[in-house]
Structure 1
Amino acid sequence: MPQTKHIKTSIFALMLLVGTTLLLPARSLATQAYVFTGRTMGTSYAVKLVSAKPLSKSLWQEKINLRLKQINARLSMYQKDSELSRFNAAPTGQAFRVSADFYQVLKQCRDLHTLTAGAWDGTVKPLVDLWGFGTKGRRGTPPKPAQIKTALKRIGFDKLKIGDHVLTKTVPGITLDLGAIAKGYGVDEIARLIRDGGIENYLVEIGGELAGAGKNKHRKTWTVGITNPEKGFLNSGLYKKVRLDNKAIATSGNYRNYFEKNGQIYAHIISPKTGYPVENAVVSASVISDTCTLADGLATALMVMDTHQALALINSLESTECLIIRQDGREKTALRSSGFKTYEIGF
């Protein structure tokens, strides 16, 4: 996955894979809550609907599963027959027609690549694989500089030509990995499915990326938590709680996927510019925005960027805030965008 990612416990008693944790209140008789869970995109999902009107649980489970199956069939790099896998296998210069889902994600990828000055790059898969964090298996030693130099020739989102529902490779060997944005897109699409069904109160989570709207059963704004980033711990508690009021949140971290060699730690967030794991002391980045797709992509980009540049970028965007956690030695430092505190809840 591009600068791979993402790291959570939830009300649904499911251990998730990236940095936000779902926190829900105790049972209430005021309205009916409906919970749907399952597997998608190599991780778990959980959806909560709150309605005063009776809902068909079987129908909604079927609708959610069907939409997620459609998205996975288009954006998965693990399914050999997925649309993404077929594009990656296509020859250089061949115009590859893409679906509406693929095209929507591609446009947002292009915007993210430009917005982050290349820190977000969906073509970084060869480097991720080379370092042992991708689909080619793990490794315990760093690759050789010559190998990294060779892989860098196949990196660069600008080496893809995006037309009207058409995508074309302009250099041999380039591949696309949408893992750093696909979960966010999935969250947004399930949220849209729910709204189209006339339901205003919901919380959607895929692999720890979340979107919440309306109120919970207690007519309160949804509350979620940002996991305390600790190497070697699956459940290290919460670092912060935040409100999700018609917003989405995504977290990226590098504290669970790494290897150590000769006292040096190599984490899975790879810079698409240098070809090496980033060394900016950032262990976690959480982004709150209007869409989970944008939050998901930005969270990955902030892991790669210099922290001053990252904060400046987020402060320049409307309706978007971030919390970046740095770790120097044993000391953690929280860096917030100008408006992030408005979402925080004190413990």
Structure 2
Amino acid sequence: MKKWLIALTALIALALPLAACKQQAKPKAAPVIQTPYKDTQFLMGTVVNLSVYNKGKESALDDGFARIKQLAKEITVNQKGSEVDAVNKQAGIKPVKVTKSVYALIKYAKAYSERSNGSFDLAIGPVTQLWHIGFSDARKPAQSEIDAVLPLVHYQDVVLNDKQQTVYLKKKGMQLDLGGIAKGFIADEVVKVFKKDGVNTAIIDLGGNIFVMGHSPKAKNRPWTVGIQDPKASRGTSIGTVPAANITVVTSGIYERHLVVDGHNYSHLMNPKTGYPFENNLAGVSIITKKSVDGDALSTATFDKGLKDGMAFIEKQKDAEAIFITKDKKVYVSSGLKKTFELIPDTGYKLATLK
């Protein structure tokens, strides 16, 4: 046998076990247990609950929370070290290079701003900063203040450079505010961390963004039962339930964070076109879809459109369903949920059908 053939054979022999090692390194999900490993922390202004049901995978909780804290630090506006804050400070001055994760989030946010025709606008920061609903200094701004910042709310003026991984806001005073989709993006990132750690059965709850992985350990191959939040009650109070497996349920409501001025209730859900909170008969919207970031964006877009147009919008979306709750306590569900959504008795809510 020629020397080069002997050498090639040796290389192949060496490569095979290396390839096998790589395949073996891929984590396999451990057996599922009834009582989960759990941890609760207050992050991003909300209570975050992580539960892992795979035996011996308790350490995944630490990895999940580490990823949440890392992303929150990079994304949160007005936080020291935040990359989004750095982009805002350089508005009208120069592009800012951001991390891969933050760039992916901003790119998604701009794409969804385009897709929703501005019902969701990632450049709504100047308006949300004026109202600051959810904070101790929340107030109703004067019309002149709103008129002054509305021209800055223009997603088309957010310039992205894929090659340089930079973000540039064309006009001074522009501000990104990714609060409308950040929790969804982070929830999806925790799913990735869990999968990498060999977890396939878990509940990720980021205060309004719930992602259920796998199936309920209480019943083999049966989905989880996820409660639909009562928009007028405290977190954890449900008006109905839906079965769910490997999907997310994202809920937005006008009473979650709000401001009352002269007897009028103003929601934190802002209309990019008017500079005021959305004004329609919707009290809450729950989106059921495969990615939590999609659920966040869709819930905002549907609030802008209202009940009838919002339902029509959802029916056109692939792999997305919705539950609309109106201020007069009526519940409307999209076509894909008509057989699976269950209204809880004695809640004061009634199922209704659009005419």
TM-score, L = length of structure 2: 0.81
How far, CA to CA, are the matches of 2:325 and 2:240 in structure 1?
Answer: 11
Conserved? CA contact 2:159–2:170, under 8 Å: yes
Conserved? CA contact 2:208–2:252, under 8 Å: no
What residue identity is the alignment partner of 2:51? K
How far, CA to CA, are the matches of 2:259 and 2:41 in structure 1?
Answer: 30
How far, CA to CA, are the matches of 2:188 and 2:75 in structure 1?
Answer: 14
The ranges of structure 1 where at least 4 consecutive aligned residues each deviate by more than 4 angstroms after the TM superposition are 29-32
Q: Deviation per CA, 1:288-347: give whole Å up to 9, x if none.
A: 1110011012112222223222112211111101111111xxx22222222123442354
**Which of the residues 50, 54, 57 maps onto 2:56?**
54
1:238, CA displacement in angstroms? 1.5
Q: Secondary structure at the match of 2:274?
A: coil
What residue identity is the alignment partner of 2:276? Y
Instruction: Write out aligned runs for 1:21-60 (5 A).
Output: 31=34, 33-51=36-54, 53-55=55-57, 57=58, 59-60=59-60
Across the aligned residues of Structure 1 and Structure 2, the Cα RMSD in angstroms comes to: 2.1
- State which drifts further: 337-346 or 110-119: 337-346
| Aligned CA distance change for structure 1 residues 194 and 346 (closer, same or farther; 3 Å) | same
Q: Which residue does 1:112 correspond to in 2?
A: 112
Q: Which residue does 2:146 correspond to in 1?
A: 148
Q: Which residue does 1:161 correspond to in 2?
A: 159
How far, CA to CA, are the matches of 1:95 and 1:178 in structure 2?
Answer: 18
Conserved? CA contact 2:52–2:61, under 8 Å: no
1:202, CA displacement in angstroms? 1.3
Pair 1:334 & 2:340 matched: no
How far, CA to CA, are the matches of 1:229 and 1:281 in structure 2?
Answer: 13
How far, CA to CA, are the matches of 1:208 and 1:263 in structure 2?
Answer: 26
How far, CA to CA, are the matches of 1:128 and 1:91 in structure 2?
Answer: 17
Q: Which residue does 2:322 correspond to in 1?
A: 322
TM-score, L = length of structure 1: 0.83
What residue identity is the alignment partner of 2:290? D
How far, CA to CA, are the matches of 1:143 and 1:170 in structure 2?
Answer: 25
How far, CA to CA, are the matches of 1:267 and 1:30 in structure 2?
Answer: 41
| Aligned CA distance change for structure 1 residues 145 and 91 (closer, same or farther; 3 Å) | closer
Gaps of 5+ in 2: 1-31, 345-355
1:113, CA displacement in angstroms? 0.8
1:128, CA displacement in angstroms? 2.0
| Aligned CA distance change for structure 1 residues 256 and 182 (closer, same or farther; 3 Å) | closer
Conserved? CA contact 2:285–2:303, under 8 Å: yes
What residue identity is the alignment partner of 1:228? D
Q: Report 1 or 2 for greater relative contact order, CA contacts < 8 Å, sequence distance ≥ 6.
A: 1
Q: Which residue does 1:304 correspond to in 2?
A: 304
| Aligned CA distance change for structure 1 residues 343 and 110 (closer, same or farther; 3 Å) | farther
Q: Which residue does 1:221 correspond to in 2?
A: 223
| Aligned CA distance change for structure 1 residues 54 and 131 (closer, same or farther; 3 Å) | closer
How far, CA to CA, are the matches of 2:151 and 2:50 in structure 1?
Answer: 41
How far, CA to CA, are the matches of 1:65 and 1:138 in structure 2?
Answer: 29
Q: Deviation per CA, 1:168-196: give whole Å up to 9, x if none.
A: 11111000111111111111111111112
Q: Secondary structure at the match of 1:102?
A: helix
How far, CA to CA, are the matches of 1:30 and 1:135 in structure 2?
Answer: 40
What residue identity is the alignment partner of 1:151? V
Q: Secondary structure at the match of 2:49?
A: strand
